[in-house]
Amino acid sequence: MFRRAFVELIIVLLVRWPRLMESTIIKKSIVFIYGKLIADDLDQVIKKKEDYDKPIINALRYIKSNFDQPQKVLDLGTGTGFGVFKTKEIIESKEIIGVDLSKNMLEIARKKAKAREGDNIFFEQQDASDLSYESNSFDLLMSNNCPCYLKEVARVLKPSGLFLFTLSYSGEKVMKHKPRLEKFLRRHGFQINKMDQGGNGVYIIAELS
Ligand SMILES: C[S@@+](CC[C@H](N)C(=O)[O-])C[C@H]1O[C@@H](n2cnc3c(N)ncnc32)[C@H](O)[C@@H]1O
């Protein structure tokens, strides 16, 4: 209940006041809440919530069938590596990087990656709103259950690259915001290719035009 309300709040904030999400105080609060209060439990929550991964699975399968395989993938706000490991299962990519601000989250993600050495999976501590990567670097950027910073997404994506946004909750509610989300994405040069519900959640695949 609390989690769902939190996700809905993030959507409203993102869509209505994207600049607010970039304020230091909001970012610090997010990192505190996730790093200190949620990191140790996140994998349990994911395991318990049966269809947590439905939106990302549906979206990645759609990408696999309808686009060239994205070779360089970046998962923003990766947490314990959810988007990175799901991508590895479905897409044949050369390199997948997960970034997060929270050290605690990354520690867990790296432990999981250690067992899969040679997979070309990397985790780095970075702020999704101020990435250190060069412009035009990635074929696919994703943000799962995490605030997204479209200006930065558009900068590091290659021309015609894909942006995938998923939420594991509140799919029905978010679908109602479609026109607003479309406008928000268009402002940053993106066109929605596909938006659909998956389980209780939702996914958006947008192309940089
Ligand atoms: C709900 S968790 C989602 C984790 C994972 N993507 C998933 O779906 O399971 C949100 C994650 O976003 C991270 N995060 C929030 N704001 C961030 C930012 N500005 N830069 C990098 N990571 C951020 C948090 O630290 C947290 O790990």
Beta strand pairing status for 190-198 and 201-208?
A: antiparallel
Q: What does residue 93 show for φ and ψ, rounded to 5 degrees?
A: -105, 160
Instruction: Compute the distance between CA of residue 142 and CA of residue 83 in angstroms, rounded to an integer.
Output: 8
* Whether pLDDT at 174 is above 90: no
Count structural domains, the chain.
1
Q: Is 84 in the pocket of ligand 1 (CB under 6 A)?
A: no
User: Residues 78-88: pLDDT tens digits?
Assistant: 999 999 999 99
User: Residues 8-49: pLDDT tens digits?
Assistant: 676 666 666 666 777 888 888 877 877 777 777 888 888 888
Average pLDDT, the chain: 89
Domain, as residue range, for 87: 2-208
pTM for the complete prediction? Answer: 0.92
Q: Is 181 in the pocket of ligand 1 (CB under 6 A)?
A: no
Alpha carbon of residue 114 to chain centroid: 22
CATH number at residue 103: 3.40.50.150
Q: Is 146 in the pocket of ligand 1 (CB under 6 A)?
A: yes
